[in-house]
Amino acid sequence: MSTSFVCLVKEQFTIMIISLGRTVAALGVAGLFLFSGQGWTIAADGPVAAPPTSSIEQALTQVTSEDESIRGAAVRVLIEQGDVSLVPRLEEIRATADRSIRQAIKPLMDLLKNRAKLTSPSTDVRRSAAADLGSSGNPSVIPWLDAARANEPNKWVRYTMEESVALIKLASDDPSIKAAAADKLGELGSQNGVPVLKQLVAAGDGAEATESQKTVAKAAGVAIDRIETWGVWSNVIETFFRGISLSSILLIMSLGLAIVFGLMGVINMAHGELMMVGAYATFVTQQCFTAWFSSDVFDWYFPAALPVSFLVAAVFGWVLEATVIRFLYGRPLETMLATWGVSLVLMQAARVYFGDLTAVIAPVPLRGGAQVMVGVYLPYNRIFIIALSIICVLAIYYTLFRSNLGLRVRAVTQNRNMSACLGIPTRKVDSYTFAFGSGLAGIAGWALTMVGNVDPGLGQNYIVDAFMVVVTGGVGKLAGTIVASLGIGGLNKLIEPYSGAVYGKVFILVLVILFLQWRPAGLFAMKGRDAD
Amino acid sequence: MSDRTTDTNRGGGLAFWAVGFILLVAMPLLNVLPPEDSWLHLSDFSLNRFGKFLAYGILALGLDLIWGYTGILSLGQGVFFGLGAYCMGMHMMLTIGKESVYGSDLPDFMVWNQFKELPLFWYPFYSFPVAVIGAVLVPMLFALVFGFFAFRSRIKGVYFAIITQALALVAWLVFNRNDTKLGGTNGLTDFKQVLGYRLSEPGTQRGLYILTVLCLGGAYLLCRWIIRSRAGRVLIAVRDSEKRVVFSGYTPANYKLFVFVVAAALAGLAGMLYAPQVGIITPAQIGVLPSLEMVIWVAVGGRGSLAGAVLGAVSVNYGRSVLTNYFPELWPFILGGLFVLVVLLFPDGLVGMIRKGKSLLSSRKTGEGKAAVSEGKR
């Protein structure tokens, strides 16, 4: 269980923990009864006396006993006195034992393994071990967790340990311990505790509830309130973050589209496929690094792929402009159809050449994420994309407003004929700008390899949204694109929890159409007579 | 410009009746009369397939009306097609009755999805007339509302194309969902009968084919009538210069809305005829890509020519059905290539090529080539 669990934790720890919590809390209670047959005993504090080898040996033989009480006692001894070195021997016993004994030994082995993992060098492993121990519901592990916490450098592992201890104590027989644990869980904002706390509240509501049950229920109720308030806030923050993250993906995609649209009045339907080209360029760079360089420098493939994907996509775009779009000048609808044709060809070419599914391995610094608060977990790859979009915007601002090409682009965008009269080679400007816009698509593709697979349909996932961004933003200013992608991306994620992704999209389409009632040419329309 | 549109139909009377005769009389007869092994024999499968293409032809007529004549590129015709097809499909699902796999009154997919009872909006579709009228009326109403908002705010050109594409995407997403209660990804299928005629009988399919031809003929005449009317001239004027139309005192939005609704009605009609002939309708047939393919039918046939639209729909789909059979991997290349080639080199499609060939033969004054180029503007 543990390896797959660790992987999962790496990817989606928050979601995992919430869903796990529900099942686990129930399991924990069940496990408790399984282990401590006659009821609750808090393990003695203080250092455990050096284990007399004989008692362990004795327990190892007793653990296969038919008598449940003997077996339970043996298991307890092994938990209290044993360590991970017993696992191979237990494994042996388990191989020959019958089903009920195997069932008794399995949790025991898990406990011992997890205990060993508490001192692992990896924080993720330590944390998941602590969570596992908490879900075992076995009170004997409390001293382990307390001891480990004292030496634990990582804040979030300490948090999980505390949470696990409180979860176990919550199942105690002593109402005062129970109430204190509920209080602790409330303080920790622990979503995992909610199911058990709710059971306690329900127990306190019953007609024949004892006085102590009522006190515990009261404490539990307060704790649930605290946790839920906290949950609302963390949810708000996470939604906000997801919205920003989607917005930046849309933004990186739309920037190239919008510049070209502003300049040439052309929507490049193959833009998504130029992104795909960028993503495959990244993939190929990765393959080259695997084949040619030692694994020490493997992670450098990713930065190396940035210029590669930009250039490859730019070349594709340049060729596309020179062979197709150039001849359709002034016919935007035909251009759309032709570029759509190109996109079909590119997609199928990728499918035939690369097959359906290829993935890029994220470089180490982009794996995992940062937990900033309880229940708020920000994956590094998303943070990376947000940062990249900001850099892209800055770079484009610089290009457009500080460079020679930018000056010309702006001139041609404003008035093509006049610029031509003043000696600006408008066709060259078109060609370079198109290549530049395509290169931006390549960068978008490069970034998208971090959030998904590289597959021929990569470009299709977000492209219609990107078109909407361009249409809503208008072509006059980059600010339009930025605001529109923030608006569409943010709204998308804001609505999603309430209406589901699909109806969120419906809602956005309706909103965009209504918005265009008010501003038919987008947020920032070109002013002047030439704007048609 | 108007010169050209009348040109399309010069001598068109004879051709219309000739083609009508072939489609309506000759092909069904070839299906029925010759013995199966004769080379003249047209198999049930071929006839059925051809009927499907002709249904697409009806849709292409509407698309040509809006794109070829009015210059509005709608990338969402698949939605209207789908609405029509689903209306008919719902009726046919309900007439399956106890013959379904699960023997329930409910359609099979509802049994899988554990619906207890029929959703309310399904009830009217027990009635055949409601289904038929709905198949045309629902797309029309939808187009009316969508088009009203779109044209009122003067969304046009690229903007309109993108909005309609988003519409196609959204419709595809919505139809894909199970909670829309329209069969989700699997769509509606396993139809058994329509008006008591078994769909598995060749006779029924032949009847549907003939019905499709008649509808196509009717749609063609309707479109021709629209094009030749005063309103049709305004439509063409909108395509060529919308501003001048405004300055001449017309309200282009109304004309555009009108033609958009007519196109939607034709697409719905096409969907209605398509569903029983093909026997299945799924979201995959109405999404972004199918909607774009519909545009390419018209482009290949020749935009701005009604006959061309039908010709394009039939020829592209025939090509597709043959090629995907032999080279499934090649089809997207061919389709993509067609998009590019037609747009770049043959803006008037097959009809344009035929016309060019004719004019070369009769060595008339050249100059049409130039006209065609200038015409390409939006």
In whole angstroms, what is the distance from residue B374 CA to residue B370 CA?
6
Nearest to B167 among A503, A509, A516 (CB): A509
Pairwise CA distance, residues A6 & A529, whole Å: 62
Residues near A505 by beta carbon (within 8 Å), at least 6 away in sequence: A492, B169, B170, B173
Residue with tokens 């069904």: B28
Q: Looking at the complex, does the CB of residue B149 fall below 8 Å from at least one CB of chain A?
A: yes
Token representation of residue B278 = 């093909």
Nearest CA in chain A to B171: A506
What residue type is assigned to position B120 of the chain? L
The maximal CA–CA distance of chain A, rounded, in angstroms, is 100
Residue B366 predicted with pLDDT over 70: no
Q: What tokens does A182 get? A: 């509920």
Which residues make Cβ contacts (< 8 Å) with residue A274, sequence separation at least 6? Answer: A256, A268, A313, A316, A317, A438, A441, A442, A445, A459
Are A117 and A164 contacting, i.e. CB atoms less than 8 angstroms apart? no
Confidence tier at B123 by pLDDT (50, 70, 90)? confident
- Predicted local distance difference test score (pLDDT) of residue A141: 78
The helix (H) or strand (E) run that includes residue A230 is helix A211-264
Q: Which amino acid is at B160?
A: F
CB contact at 8 A, B312 and B297: yes
In this prediction, residue A17 carries a pLDDT of 42
Residue numbers in B near A509 (CB within 8 A) = 163, 166-167, 170
Percent share of chain A, pLDDT over 70:
88
How many contiguous H segments (helices) and E segments (strands) does chain A have? 20, 2
Calculate helix-pair angle for A211-264, A380-402, nearest 10 degrees. Answer: 30
Whole-number pLDDT of residue B377: 41
B50-77 pLDDT per residue, tens: 899 999 999 999 999 999 999 999 999 9
Cβ atoms of A421 and A472 within 8 Å: the answer is no
A505, A492 contact by CB (below 8 A): yes
Look-up of token digits 């006993």: A65
For B115-137, give the DSSP string.
-SS--GGGGGGGSHHHHHHHHHH
- Is residue A152 within 8 Å of residue A10, measured between CB atoms? no
pLDDT digits (tens, 9 = 90+) for A468-521: 898 888 876 788 899 999 999 888 888 887 877 788 888 888 888 888 878 877
pLDDT at A28: 43
Beta bridge partners of B194: B197
Encoded tokens for B188: 């509606």
Label the pairing between strands B197-198 and B193-194. Answer: antiparallel
B163, A331: Cβ pair inside 8 Å?
no
Name the nearest CA neighbour of A449 among A240, A242, A303, A320: A303
Residue-level length of chain B? 378
CA dist A160 and A28 (Å) reads 15
Contact B64, B304 (CB under 8 A): yes
Using an 8 Å CB-CB cutoff, list chain B residues near A324. 340, 344
Contacts of A49 (CB under 8 A, 6+ apart): none
Q: What is the pLDDT of residue A300?
A: 86
Strand spans (E) along A374-503? 376-379
CA geometry: angle at B337 spanning B334 and B340, to 5°? 155
Identity of the residue in A331, A471, A503 whose CB atom sits nearest the CB atom of B378 = A331
Interface probe with B: pick from A254, A261, A336, A515, most Cβ of B within 10 Å: A336
Chain B residue numbers with beta carbons less than 8 Å from the beta carbon of A514 are: 149
3-state secondary structure at position A379? strand
Residue of A nearest to B378 (CA): A331
Q: B197-201 long-range contacts, Cβ below 8 Å, gap at least 24? A: B199/B92, B199/B276, B199/B279
**Alpha carbons A434 and A329: distance in angstroms, whole number:** 13
Q: Which residues face A377 on adjacent strands?
A: A371
In this complex, do B343 and A328 lie within 8 Å of one another by their Cβ atoms? yes
By Cβ distance, the residue of A331, A347, A520 closest to B153 is A520
**C-alpha closest to that of A254 among A452, A481, A410, A433:** A481
A369-373 and B193-194 beta bridge pairing: unpaired
Residue B235: its pLDDT value, please?
92
Residue A428 distance to chain B (closest CA, Å): 21
User: Which chain B residues touch A504 with a CB distance below 8 Å?
Assistant: none
Cα gap A162→B271, rounded to integer Å: 63
Using a 10 angstrom Cβ sphere, with 0-12 exposed, 13-18 middle and 19 or more buried, the burial of residue A95 is exposed
Task: List pLDDT tens digits, range B113-122.
Answer: 778 788 888 8
Cβ-based contacts of A468 with chain B (< 8 Å): 162, 166
Q: Please tell me whether residue A377 adopts helix, strand or coil conformation.
A: strand
Residue B298 has pLDDT above 90, yes or no: yes
Q: Which residues of chain B does A503 touch, with a Cβ-Cβ cutoff of 8 Å?
A: 174
B224 pLDDT tier (thresholds 50, 70, 90): very high
Which chain A residues have a beta carbon less than 8 Å from that of B352? none
- Tell me the CA distances in angstroms from A229 to A198, A232, A242, one per residue in order: 15, 5, 20
Question: What is the Rg, in whole angstroms, of the alpha carbon atoms belonging to chain A?
Answer: 30
HEC readout, A242-266: HHHHHHHHHHHHHHHHHHHHHHHCC
- Cβ-contact A32, A111 below 8 angstroms: no
Q: Which of A177, A173, A144 is CA-nearest to residue A33?
A: A173
Looking at chain A, which residue has its C-alpha nearest residue B176? A502
Please give the average per-residue pLDDT across B136-145, as a whole number: 95
pLDDT of res. B326: 86
Closest chain A residue to B330, measured at CA: A348
Cα-flanking dihedrals φ and ψ of residue A210, to 5°? -75, 170
Nearest to B159 by CA among B171, B168, B148, B150: B150
Percent of chain B whose pLDDT exceeds 90: 40
Query: B360: burial class by Cβ within 10 Å (0-12, 13-18, 19+)?
Result: exposed
Confidence band of B364 (pLDDT split at 50, 70, 90): low
CB within 8 Å of A223: residues ≥ 6 apart? A182, A183, A185, A186, A193, A197
Given a cut of 70, the residues of chain A with pLDDT beneath it are 1-53, 357, 476, 526-532
Prediction pTM value: 0.77
- Number of C-alpha atoms within 13 angstroms, CB side, residue A152? 27
Which residue of chain A has the CA closest to B338?
A: A341
